[in-house]
Structure 1
């Protein structure tokens, strides 16, 4: 009886040890069949489980570090999540062993393309084509990079080569040709108008404006003429904006403007520096200067933005120092893109005192510290290859020095853009 009792005490221990023991057969099977495990990793990745796919890839590489196809796959999954630096490190391991490895060269070209480093991407695309000049997909890849460099003629030549090699790429090739046709239209004309309806029987604010955009190899340049009417006064403002490209990761915003000085600042200037950051973030810092008849306004600003899938998010504070204190405002945008960068809808909102010039017309320095909050929606739609429609609806609640409560302001704006 005592022996049977001892057996029942030992049995659970034996059971636990049995199930906890390593499955040497399974491990041996994994080590002996990395191809099957690689196929499993690709299936898992296609289902969207990239982290699990990477774990399987690392398991293979731990026993077969020279299995380059697995390492290239691992690098691509990193790039799909914008982990470009980590992806480059993995691909460099392959290229150090095999400098002309075709898949590694093509993957590195994709990484540079997705990260916006078009010149580096072109170098790897050229090397990839030199190794496999009969692969149509490589010419399509290089054409996409050349489009990013605004080398449209060379891109069209590569698309022709791809189509001659393999007609299966014809749909994608036609999409890129349409994109080139759109990009080759270096001129854009814009006409817009907006109407601000103020509550409390205050005069409305009406604005019409025209713009001319010139897309250059060094960044877009925009000229703008605005005409506004309020308080039985009509005023004008002429501005020029520029977005010079400084490098693959840096660009700037510059603005200067003059006006009649009745409803606009007599002179305005703005400058902001933008930097692409890892993980598809972008940061900026800059200032705005507004010169009115009686005083000047300096606004310090910064921003942080994030691209995520088909969404764009940005958050931007504004700080306006003065004798009466520092005015602080915060603006935010959440934008959804629909298939192309010219068709989107946005939610916009902010609080503090709006840095919008329309809110500080004829105001004293102290009045510019009054508060506001707003929210709205805007949209842009590509009707055809050359024609775009845009519009915005916004509601603002604004303080005024002569009123005790916030005044509601409803803004409606619409316009068209035409490329030529």
Structure 2
């Protein structure tokens, strides 16, 4: 039994331990999982849980900008403004191109009513995303929130021009003018309020709020007639509106036009028979009317007279007059028409009807009656004037309906009646201007100015038309004339300035820079503090390479606007162009300190430092350049240009470890940028760490497979190969014997850090036996400028010399000159030869030339031999063409070693040429040919022909 319980206990413990282990080693969620959970909790409005998840995600991955922005948003949603601001700023510092972060930052500052900070963020966002509609709308919102309605209006107009078909923009445009109208209305500025509401109605003609506001202003000012006219106009487009009809009823009641009010109430009841409010108004309205009239209303009395005596003219006149005085034009018109039935040509009734029609804004019908009266009374000046005015009013009506031909017809008839009428001339010109028919508008204005040469309105319009036609100088001349007549008047000065600025902008677009600059200078002559002209002149002078002038205008602007950040930035740019880097960088640094989160100022500062550093490089001041580039990296450790320049300078100073550290840093920031990996390869090559350098070069090829990158990778790969196998074949023919000499050679070479060593076996078959010769060779570098060459040969004495030793010491001097001193010893048959060797070599770009002299002692004889070798290198020194000329037989000549004892004393001349081709720095194939002419005696010569083929392969 005890054993049974023990088994159960042990099994339980095992299960518990396995569960504990599973919990202990269970992998927790990663940052992406936490982020996704935080998003779900945010959508579910579980903000506290979402914040907790976001913090955990950031703890796992601090550079997770999407997560940090979500955390900032969560703090915004929970009212923790300071925390939200902190995280959104951190996102912008990490990623200045994160668009949504700008929108959040703007919203935070707007909510805190920090409009200047919000403006900084929106300007910075628009710097990176200049055509972003959302950011532009935010800027308009900031201007409105800060009650900067003048600038807001300018910006709203520019937005509408850019996005005229966008409903969001049109709503924002309307909203701006509605807000501005309310602002001015509250402060009692009725004129500006009305202007802003009217601009809102231009885009949104059905905007109820704007219409009500304008109507209410009329009512507060006691302009009930205007208010009723406004509501009638609205009812014309929306006749079934219950609210509009009730508002009109209220106005009729307020003006004590009870008859009209009761009649209108009946119309409302017919349209809305079940409306309790309308039904309940009838009795109180009649009671109020009864109290008002108290049976003494003259209108009712005269109406009663007419009912009994319809022909009573006095009663008719009174009823008509009373109806008109109360604004009941339709009733008045009905009474007049009633009278005209009996007397159709009654001049007084016709005149009254004309008045009623005019009051009811039926100008075309009123003008027809005026024309009829004018024909009947041709000498009546008042009727002529009235006819002209009504034709103009009728034309205006057509113009408002965009019926331009009908409008021009009415204005033309007005001018036929009175060719000098200023209003008719003005409206005719306006109609042509609206239709963009500038030529005809100019004709009308010239005609008007012929009669009224000093009329300001006509002069301003002519100036505007000339400007639209591109005749800016003439337009500006008129504007200057107006300013001269009205010195100090800001309106005329602003008009002249605007003309000059517009002309300058258009000339700039046409690349007429000198003429454009003349316009901007003319602006500054009128307004020395005009910021637009100053900015344009700075830009233009900089663009045409006149930094001195650009600096002058920048300083002029800063006298008026000493803290203007844009002018300061422009001045910094001009100073950089003038190579006055210290002053430029000081300005950019101050701007960066003032606006630490504005990317363009930080970029301006680092760009200035980069320019200063490259100038130091050009002037061969690497230490100063290095100091400046490190300043750039202190501001922005990810600056690619500063990193590359720093790596180059450190390599130039042979500080390879430091250069490698910066190259690795660049790779960390820009893992797919081949330039930094290339710098790493070059630095590792300089350190002779060829394996690592080769791996880096291979990575460059993967990223950017160009012939140059592939060639460099092959070169570095060859540097990692320590062994080489070679095969050589020499074929020698003579013209004095049928015997041929053929020598085959096998070679193994091993590369060591300071040079290489090689072992060779030479084979030559002859009738007298097989010649074998072994060779041991070494190249050893003592210093970067000095190395030794050594050779030891030993053979079986058949064909080849029995023993040969060679040694030379090479030294490189200035100007790529190399000198050699050496000794040779050769033993063959009965010959023991000792030779001294001296040579000098020189490299010119792709050419290499070597002259070598041998001084040969073969006791008791003494000989000399000379050799001139030249090579032309190609394909990054992988291949070359060689030319050789020799005099005498040297102990280094492989083809003549077999006959050296016989040839040593002969006069020998030789010429040869060859070509070596290397494939990927690894495999080399060479072909060489030599002709040798030997003088046997005074009259006899013999010739030798060598063909030498080589093959070498590194592995």
TM (norm. structure 1) is 0.67
CA contact (8 A) 2:694 2:717 kept: no
CA contact (8 A) 2:701 2:710 kept: no
Shift of 1:151: 1.9
Shift of 1:332: 1.8
Report what 1:152 is aligned to: 690
Deviations 1:324-353 (A, max 9, x none): 453222212221222143322211112133
Deviations 1:289-328 (A, max 9, x none): 1123424212211222223222222222211134445322
Shift of 1:238: 0.3
Taking structure 1 as reference, are residues 212 and 156 closer, same or farther at Cα in structure 2, changes over 3 Å only? closer
RMSD: 3.8
Report what 2:896 is aligned to: 359
Q: Does 1:399 align with 2:944?
A: no
Q: Structure 1 regions of 5+ residues with no counterpart? A: 1-27, 38-66, 76-89, 113-119
> Matches of 1:384 and 1:68 in 2, distance apart?
38
Q: Structure 2 regions of 5+ residues with no counterpart? A: 1-547, 550-573, 580-611, 632-641
> Matches of 2:808 and 2:938 in 1, distance apart?
35
Taking structure 1 as reference, are residues 187 and 408 closer, same or farther at Cα in structure 2, changes over 3 Å only? same
> Matches of 1:311 and 1:203 in 2, distance apart?
38
Report what 1:411 is aligned to: 946
Please identify which structure carries the higher strand content.
1
Taking structure 1 as reference, are residues 157 and 299 closer, same or farther at Cα in structure 2, changes over 3 Å only? same
CA contact (8 A) 1:360 1:368 kept: no
Shift of 1:359: 3.0
Which of 738, 751, 761 does residue 225 from structure 1 map onto? 761
Taking structure 1 as reference, are residues 109 and 290 closer, same or farther at Cα in structure 2, changes over 3 Å only? farther
Report what 1:327 is aligned to: 863
> Matches of 1:319 and 1:278 in 2, distance apart?
27
Report what 2:734 is aligned to: 198
Report what 2:799 is aligned to: 263
CA contact (8 A) 2:895 2:946 kept: no
Report what 1:82 is aligned to: none
> Matches of 2:719 and 2:921 in 1, distance apart?
10
Tell me the SS of whatever aligns to 2:838: strand
Taking structure 1 as reference, are residues 33 and 268 closer, same or farther at Cα in structure 2, changes over 3 Å only? farther
Question: Equivalent residues in 2 for 1:48-197 (5 A)?
Answer: 69-70=614-615, 72-73=617-618, 75=620, 91=622, 106-107=647-648, 120=654, 122-123=656-657, 125-126=659-660, 129=663, 137=675, 139-147=677-685, 149-156=687-694, 158-159=696-697, 167=703, 172-197=708-733
CA contact (8 A) 2:656 2:687 kept: no
CA contact (8 A) 1:387 1:418 kept: yes
> Matches of 2:815 and 2:648 in 1, distance apart?
18
CA contact (8 A) 2:831 2:858 kept: no
> Matches of 1:205 and 1:36 in 2, distance apart?
75
Shift of 1:287: 1.5
Report what 1:350 is aligned to: 886
* Larger relative contact order (Cα-Cα within 8 Å, sequence gap ≥ 6): 1
Shift of 1:374: 0.9
Shift of 1:375: 1.0
Tell me the SS of whatever aligns to 1:240: strand
> Matches of 2:808 and 2:691 in 1, distance apart?
33
Tell me the SS of whatever aligns to 1:245: strand
Structure having the higher Rg: 2
Please identify which structure carries the higher helix content.
2
> Matches of 1:380 and 1:362 in 2, distance apart?
27
Report what 1:42 is aligned to: none
> Matches of 1:351 and 1:308 in 2, distance apart?
25
> Matches of 1:91 and 1:169 in 2, distance apart?
32
CA contact (8 A) 1:345 1:378 kept: yes
CA contact (8 A) 2:869 2:883 kept: yes
Which of 263, 284, 290 does residue 820 from structure 2 map onto? 284
TM (norm. structure 2) is 0.32
